[in-house]
Chain A
């Protein structure tokens, strides 16, 4: 008699830990947590094979709320901790939860190197453009002129743009979503999970206490159709309430054009997330609301490339195949030896 083996059917509740969630009421993090718990059962991966790793900050409390393995580590270092874990146990699914301060300021170095190695990790960066846990200092993504507790006369350093950084390090999967756009967020997390190699997702996340409304332009029901642009692979870049506007390339610069009056869809820039050359994705990451562009959401880039965690273990397998499993007695006695009777 054959016994059908299948994974138990899990729901989002199975992924909730017994810990009370302690983000401020109304925080965008709740939505991201809810979508993550919803996505988990759809991946077909048992709970014990999943690890969430975070650094420090509001977002980094995330692992405590997931009933998987998890580590809440130190500020900025989650990608490095995850690298150690993943190289030793490459069959685990590892998520890194970080924020704009954790990931781009104190942990910028690790983020960059983790991405260039194409470690098979899913990195979700909650971008609220503020330091929340330390109560309201400006962050590396705060806009110029931003007045905060630590910038009473306005921020004077240029902000970093997370996706431009990720693409600069040639991330193999880059996407953006918005905390309140739950359908889109869920779908984006799932695509990230399914990608082999580093997946980097920026989530526009509202800190309703220290930086409320930072992303209103992208979330407001009345404006979002004009301020965001949903990317679809192989499709022209069209946006607007009436889907009558598009993005056209003028030399190396994008420009917003009105469809009709002699401009057709064929004149527009077509999205190609599979492009090996990351320039198009970079160009998309440079389209900013303050410069009069809709900000793209969705998958900017999704390409295949060798993964560090696989390669490192492949080298071990190759060395073992070529030299045989290591024998310590042979090693001890290698080189010049002599015997004392």
Chain B
């Protein structure tokens, strides 16, 4: 092999690769490894894992296709890419469902042996798209590489004496190896991964290593692969980096907030996609004094969270739309008890069970309004995987400053996506001060519903002598917290709870924009659409458009300068992955005729469709 002549290298600014195959083919692993490696060589990366809700949908069918897209670049990037430059398809079903996203002239690598009679039937294909006429047509559009990965992998792992089934499980490493060669990625990180993951099973580790090398060498050796691509390092802010997924960043942010406030961390949770990884992550770190409680249902998860908040913990619950709906009654209890806690909704497609593994922003009304009675809760939203770390701390900061449950929104796209994350120093992070009233001799009655200048009430903890008091879901009398049916008091308490949440607007930063301070168009976004909207507005400006971008972290209350800010642009456009929920709220609140751009397909916005909409609106 050492005699093989060096192949020419083409330098690219960026590329997008998608691995797709059956959900049992290990495509998520291939994508994750490619992501880590690209980040390690200094590219900026953004990912989009896309998998079916069924753990094992019928093998080889379109329903069972699992994909992982990685966008890597020498520039800062904010999205996983609109179109794919290189597509790896392990079977016909994956080919059929993904080929539409491959750009003209892109690279198509197919596992030839997957395109057998059975595979074609399962994908509902009459003919073989990689044979004869069909192949010619494909080759008109793409650079097609037919690679018999099954056979090549089996040959590569022969010496480890595995059965056919086990040998075929190494195919994803062959595919990885090949794509690693195409984009000049080093194998070492993946070799380290194999050692760490399979080290205890030497034959599995050995076989995966052999398959990876075989794939890489195949690219290097076979003449058909005539060019290797090189994507130089991105110019990121100096510092130490790692790649991080949204749910991990969120979990670490919560752990950080607990330490910054010197609190025990309590998580009450019930398994639900795509929030379960928060439970998985936190239960691994018990040595950080974290109590994780997997409850019998969503309601118990939430009510236990309330009990833990009363006990004085940094108390959180994490779920997704359907689970949040079940917790709804208990949110009211948390609001009237005025106890601090954080409620996380990793949104997914709805209504009902909807699209559990697909992303959407359609729980905004639920977050802002979804409770009985006058029941205001602050709502904030994370914009990217790494941002989850900060937003988790911000949610807890607001919760304790204002003695209120806080709703934190992320979505499936952020939760499972990953990006490079500049590693902070714990000592540099601002503390989150929490105080509790101290013990008394009990000679004076403790008044749990007195208030400070922010209208927050004291957080007195069970176990403190002299502060014995009762909280409850019946309307509270001002100051004493006793049950009160007094009409004036009820109005006063509703007004006070509302004013308390509204006051948060005075405590949060003014809204800023990316782009000109005034102009033709302001694109406003919130949550996981940040990257697409930022990229689209920047691109539109390059095309000469007068457009700025404002991304909202704070949904309730909204930043206090928002009305003034919107007034500086001729038009306001609000792209959302729902039917226009925040747009409706903003129109209602400010009487501004915000234009909507709405998509509910379980997928993020592409930059191209946003740029097109911007052109349409600006004329």
Complex partner residue of B243 from A85, A336, A340, CB under 8 angstroms: A336
A85, A86, A325 interface centre (most CB from chain B within 10 Å): A85
In the complex, the answer to whether B287 meets A319 with C-beta atoms within 8 Å is: yes
Q: With A71-B470, A72-B472, A326-B287 in contact, do A19 and B482 touch (Cβ < 8 Å)?
A: yes
Q: How far is the CA of A112 from the CA of B300 in the complex (A)?
A: 12
CA distance in complex: A88, B330 (Å): 19
Let me know if B286 and A80 touch, CB within 8 A.
no
A53: contacting residue among B307, B337, B474, CB under 8 A: B307
A81 CA to B337 CA, complexed, in Å: 13
**Nearest neighbor of B483 in chain A, beta-carbon distance:** A64
B264 to chain A: which residues have CB within 8 Å? 88
Residues of B near A312 (CB, < 8 A) are: 291, 293
Contact with B along A274-314 (1 / 0, CB 8 A): 00000000000000000000000000000000000000110
CB of B425 closer than 8 Å to a CB of A: yes
Q: Which of B39, B239, B268, B296 contacts A110 (CB 8 A)?
A: B296
Residue B467 CB within 8 A of the other chain: yes
List chain A residues, Cβ under 8 A from B290: 316
Minimum CB–CB distance for B373 against chain A, Å: 12
CA distance A51 to B424 in the complex (A): 41
Contact indicator B462/A48 (Cβ below 8 Å): yes
Could you tell me if B471 and A320 are in contact, using CB atoms closer than 8 angstroms? no
The 8 Å CB contact of A333, one of B42, B242, B305, B468, is B242
The digit string for B189-222, where 1 denotes a CB below 8 A from any CB of A, is 1001000000000000000000000000000000
Min distance, Cβ B425 to any Cβ of chain A, angstroms: 7
Chain B residues with CB under 8 A of A72: 470-474
Residues of B with C-beta under 8 A to A211? none
Contact present for B287 and A80 (CB under 8 Å):
no
Please count the residue pairs between chain A and chain B whose beta carbons lie under 8 angstroms apart in the complex.
216
Is A63 part of the binding interface, using a Cβ–Cβ cutoff of 8 Å?
A: yes
Q: How far is the CA of A253 from the CA of B157 in the complex (A)?
A: 66
Q: Tell me the residues in window 418-476 of chain B with beta carbons closer than 8 Å to chain A beta carbons.
A: 423-426, 439, 445, 461-474
Count of B interface residues, CB-CB < 8 Å? 76
In the assembled complex, the CB of B258 is this many whole angstroms from the nearest CB of chain A, namely: 10
A332 touches B423 (CB 8 A): yes
A82 smallest CB distance to B (angstroms): 6
- Residue contact A64 to B470, C-beta cutoff 8 Å: yes
Instruction: Identify whether the interface residues of B are mostly helix, strand, loop, or mixed.
Output: mixed
> Which residue of A71, A109, A312, A320 has the most chain B CB atoms within 10 A of its CB atom?
A71
Complex interface bits, B219-238 against A, C-beta within 8 A gives 1, otherwise 0: 00000000000000100111
**Min CB gap A35→B, angstroms:** 20
Q: Does A84 count as interface, using CB distance less than 8 angstroms?
A: yes
Whether a CB of chain B sits under 8 angstroms from the CB of A155 is: no
Q: CA of A329 to CA of B242 in the docked complex: distance in angstroms? A: 13
A87-B293, A326-B288, A341-B238 are known contacts. Are A81 and B306 too (CB-CB below 8 A)? yes
Name the residue among A86, A87, A113 with the largest chain B CB count within 10 angstroms: A87
With an 8 A cutoff between CB atoms, is B285 at the interface? Answer: yes
- Contacts known (A80-B300, A316-B286); A87 close to B426, Cβ less than 8 A: no
Candidates B242, B255, B303, B311; contact of A336 at CB < 8 Å: B242
Instruction: Report yes or no: A333 in contact with B462, Cβ–Cβ below 8 A.
Output: no
- B454-508 interface (Cβ within 8 A of A): 461-474, 482-483
Is residue A17 within 8 Å, beta carbon to beta carbon, of the partner chain? yes
Q: Is residue A92 within 8 Å, beta carbon to beta carbon, of the partner chain? A: yes
Judge whether B396 is part of the interface by a CB distance below 8 angstroms: no
313-367 of chain B: CB within 8 A of chain A: 313, 315, 329-330, 332-333, 337
Chain A residue contacts of B306, Cβ below 8 A = 71, 73, 81, 84
Distance, CA A112 to CA B285, complexed state (A): 29
A128 at interface by CB-CB < 8 Å: no
Q: Are A80 and B288 in contact (CB under 8 A)?
A: no
Check if A89 sits within 8 Å of B312, measured CB to CB. Answer: yes
Q: Is A337 an interface residue (CB 8 A)?
A: yes
Q: Is the CB of B239 within 8 A of A48?
A: no
B20 interfacial by beta-carbon distance below 8 Å: no
CB distance from B289 to the nearest CB of A (A): 6
Q: Does A209 contact B (CB under 8 A)?
A: no
List residues of A (10-49) whose CB comes within 8 Å of B's CBs: 17-19, 46-49
Q: Could you give, for residues 505-533 of chain B, a 1 whenever the CB lies within 8 Å of some chain A CB and a 0 otherwise?
A: 00000000000000000000000000000
Could you mark each residue 69-99 of chain A with 1 if its beta carbon is under 8 Å from any beta carbon of chain B, else 0?
1111110010011111111110110000000
Alpha-carbon distance between A86 and B310 when the two chains are bound, in angstroms: 10
Q: Is A48 a contact partner of B465 (Cβ separation < 8 A)?
A: yes
Contact between A333 and B464, CB atoms less than 8 A apart: no
B78 contacts partner chain A, Cβ-Cβ < 8 Å: no
Chain A residue nearest to B233 in the complex (CB): A340
**How distant is the Cα of A82 from the Cα of B311 in the complex, in angstroms?**
10
Is A2 part of the contact surface with B, judged by Cβ < 8 Å? no
Q: Are A80 and B307 within 8 A (Cβ)?
A: yes
Complex contact A331–B240 (CB within 8 A): no
> Across the two chains, which residue of chain A brings its CB closest to B460?
A69
Q: Choose from A18, A85, A328 the contact partner of B310 (Cβ within 8 Å).
A: A85
- A48-B464, A64-B483, A74-B333 known; A335-B288 Cβ under 8 A: no
Given A88-B264, A337-B241: A332 and B472 within 8 A (CB)? no
- Please report A residues at the B interface, Cβ cutoff 8 Å: 17-19, 46-49, 51-53, 56, 63-64, 66-74, 77, 80-89, 91-92, 109-110, 112-113, 312-313, 315-316, 318-320, 322-326, 328-329, 331-333, 335-341
Q: What would 18 A/B residue contacts be, using CB atoms closer than 8 Å?
A: A19-B483, A71-B306, A71-B337, A80-B303, A81-B307, A84-B309, A84-B311, A84-B315, A86-B311, A87-B266, A88-B266, A109-B297, A110-B296, A313-B291, A316-B287, A328-B256, A329-B426, A339-B241
> 7 additional contacts, CB 8 Å, given A71-B471, A74-B330?
A49-B463, A64-B470, A68-B468, A80-B307, A312-B291, A325-B287, A331-B285
